[in-house]
Amino acid sequence: MDAAQHVQTIAQNRRRILLLALLIAVLVFANDVRKPKQYASTAYLMVTSGRESVSLANTGDTNFLVQTYVTLGGSVPVMGDAWQRYGVTRDSFSNVINRVSVDQLGQTAFLYVRATGHSPMDAVDLARAESEALVEAVRGQEGNTLYEDASAIAINISSLQKQLAALPPGHPQAVSLRADIQTAMQALYTREAQPTNRIDYTSPASASSTPVAPRPLRDAGIAFLVGLILIAEGTVVLRRVSDRFSATEGSADVTTVAGLQVLARIPDGTG
């Protein structure tokens, strides 16, 4: 079947094709109308690198840190904290983790938290809960890192002070120990003064009064176009297959009635 016959077959069956595609669109529209409405809320956060605060970070460092926090935002501990903040009685944990996401805004230092809900306020509550959980998780991580570093230096200072206290007055090693203690104290002050990584709110969670799903007209339009193409092509395939079967059956009838073998067949011009 050439292109002209292909188009001719579709044109001959255009009413049937259109009706079937329209029926599919109506069914999709009716199904969407029955679905509960879903609203979306988005909150924006900005990541600030501690190294960037002292002009030591580059774009790659900040981008890596943002990606790290995107992963952290989707972790079970953070999601669990967000669920607690949102309200464990409002929805199950499995549903909550499917309703909220954390992503990087392009290649910038910004994150956006997106959540869906059965109402604008419900979506806002979940986006706010996830944002708060992520900010608190980062603050906790940075606090733990600072505590571990400062504790290690403090332990070293304590050890040096004990060694100094054990020396007799005027011992020559005392000068060296005092210098080591002074150096360690300066290291402790420097570490405690270093800026930490942090996440700040740039735009609180907000939601539109227009639902993001379902979209009956859009979905019905897509269903109509897809159905139109599939049904049209399916009609062409069925026509081609039926022509082949009819040709085989015609040859068999001639052989049965006349007792002669069909050596050739004149094409009927339809495929």
Question: What are the pLDDT digits (tens) for 41-92?
Answer: 999 999 998 876 656 556 677 889 999 999 999 999 999 999 999 999 999 9
CB of 202 closer than 8 Å to CB of 45: yes
pLDDT surpasses 60 at 123: yes
Q: Is 259 left (phi over 0), alpha (psi -120 to 50) or beta?
A: left
pLDDT tens digits for range 144-159: 999 999 999 999 999 9
User: How does the average pLDDT of the chain come out, rounded?
Assistant: 87
Measured between alpha carbons, how far is 269 from 243 in angstroms, rounded to an integer? 10
Give the pLDDT of residue 38.
92
Give the pLDDT of residue 57.
54
What residues contact 148, with CB distance under 8 A and at least 6 apart?
A: none
What residues contact 14, with CB distance under 8 A and at least 6 apart?
A: none
Could you say which DSSP state residue 178 is in? Answer: H
Measured between alpha carbons, how far is 161 from 164 in angstroms, rounded to an integer? 5
Residue range 28-35: average pLDDT? 88
What residues contact 44, with CB distance under 8 A and at least 6 apart?
A: 105, 110, 111, 112, 113, 201, 202, 203
Q: What are the CA-CA distances from residue 227 to residues 53, 75, 132 (Å)?
A: 56, 40, 45
- Hey, how many other C-beta atoms are within 10 angstroms of the C-beta on 14? 13
Give the pLDDT of residue 254.
47
Closest CA to 157 of 130, 184, 138: 184
Positive or negative, the CA dihedral 175, 181, 183, 185 is negative
Least confident of 93-97, 158-162, 203-207, 246-250: 246-250
